[in-house]
Amino acid sequence: MVGRYQELSASPGAGLWSPPRGTSVELASAGKQVGIGVAEMAVQSEGMEAAGPYDRARALNAFKLGDVTFYWATRACAISVLFVLGGIIISLIVGAWPAIREYGLSFLFTSRWAPSADPPVLGALGPIYGTLVTSVIAMMIAIPVGLGIAIFLTELCPQLLRRPIGMAVELLAGIPSIIYGMWGFFVLGPFLADSFQPLAIRLFDGVPLLGTIFAGPPSYLSLFNAALILAIMVLPFITAISVDVFKTVPPVLKEAAYGVGCTTWEVVRNVVIPYTRVGVIGGIMLALGRALGETMAVTFIIGNSFHITGSVFSPGTTISAAIASEFAESDGLHQSGLILLGLLLFALTFFVLGAARLMLLRLDHKAGK
């Protein structure tokens, strides 16, 4: 209608022409609809001009103040982590200083633990040995099982079973450690001592090295039992993180591998694992840190023995288990020795995480990133 009006206005005698009845109403309506935004812009422009530079400067200062406040708040949160970490280290060093001054480096290489002797004889070799042995065995079990579950869930599992299996694995992470310890003490320990351990002892009897590692007698409380509990506890960390990183592999890479005739195993080995190795290693290191510091479940089932033997079926102890079982009744040099054990565990965990970070950096360097 507007175009028709313009056309008629441009013709000769347009000044004598008047629009048909009803046309002016439509034009007025259309002009009113079009003019709403223009009127609002004009009002806003007039308001901004009337506000002047003072109000604009005040608004900009308010925005700047919000940004500065947000910056310093986030910076304070980040720095507070360093203060907390530094406070923990200082408190551990102060508490462990009497034992450091009394025993020195011999504390690391002494296997005897006799706090009731006069003078007390304290050595960390037994707890350090138990911590390393149980963690290594736990990771040897948990890594292949966890990666296998992750590969099955992402590559092979039917859609109907994917969610129930994933939820069951995640549920393992939510079970309190003391429940694992009670289950290991009352169920797993007797089962292993009555069924698995006698079989392993007979199977490897007389075999060099393996005969010593799997030597008897069977025991409800042993390093192997504690390692198996740890493997079950860290399994959800490896599986959950591996599933998440496996899902980040671009489908086009896997489809291209399948297109040239690769099997599922070849795709996983040559495409999925190399593409996600940094995330997988990160999940493994997180699980290792959990295994090194686990306390209650291990205390229930490891036996709390400071003696070192070559058999994984013998009782032992870990750093965290020794601290948990004796700290409440300790004082003086005995308590300082336990705090020194905690400092050693802190240093061991820090070393493991640092080594993992260095390994990831070397992998990135080799990949050209």
What is the reported pLDDT for 365? 72
- Segment 12-37 shows an average pLDDT of 46
Q: Which domain holds residue 294?
A: 104-366
In a domain, 121, yes or no: yes
Backbone angles phi, psi at 121, to 5 degrees: -115, 115
pLDDT in tens, 36-71: 444 454 445 455 455 555 577 777 777 788 888 889
In a domain, 161, yes or no: yes
Cα torsion for 160, 165, 171, 173, to the nearest 10°? -140
In a domain, 148, yes or no: yes
Q: Rounded to an integer, what distance in angstroms lies between the CA atom of residue 231 and that of residue 237?
A: 10
In a domain, 81, yes or no: no
What is the reported pLDDT for 256? 92
What is the reported pLDDT for 86? 93
In a domain, 99, yes or no: no
In a domain, 39, yes or no: no
Number of domains in the chain: 1
In a domain, 157, yes or no: yes
pLDDT in tens, 284-330: 988 998 899 898 999 999 998 999 988 999 999 999 999 999 998 88
The alpha-carbon radius of gyration of the chain (Å, integer) is 35
Helix residue ranges, H only, the chain: 2-10, 23-103, 106-109, 125-151, 159-174, 177-183, 189-191, 197-203, 210-213, 223-246, 251-259, 264-267, 273-293, 296-301, 319-326, 332-366
In a domain, 65, yes or no: no
**The domain that contains 180 carries what CATH number?**
1.10.3720.10
- Segment 326-341 shows an average pLDDT of 92
| This prediction's pTM | 0.78
Assign residue 303 a region (left: φ > 0; alpha: ψ between -120 and 50; beta: otherwise): left
Cis amide prior to 12 (ω within 30 degrees): no
What is the reported pLDDT for 315? 94
Q: Rounded to an integer, what distance in angstroms lies between the CA atom of residue 307 and that of residue 318?
A: 11
pLDDT-based confidence at 333, cuts 50/70/90?
very high
Backbone angles phi, psi at 316, to 5 degrees: -160, -160
Helix 332-366 / helix 23-103 crossing angle, nearest 10 deg:
130
User: Average pLDDT, whole number, for the chain?
Assistant: 84
Does position 14 have pLDDT exceeding 60, yes or no?
A: no
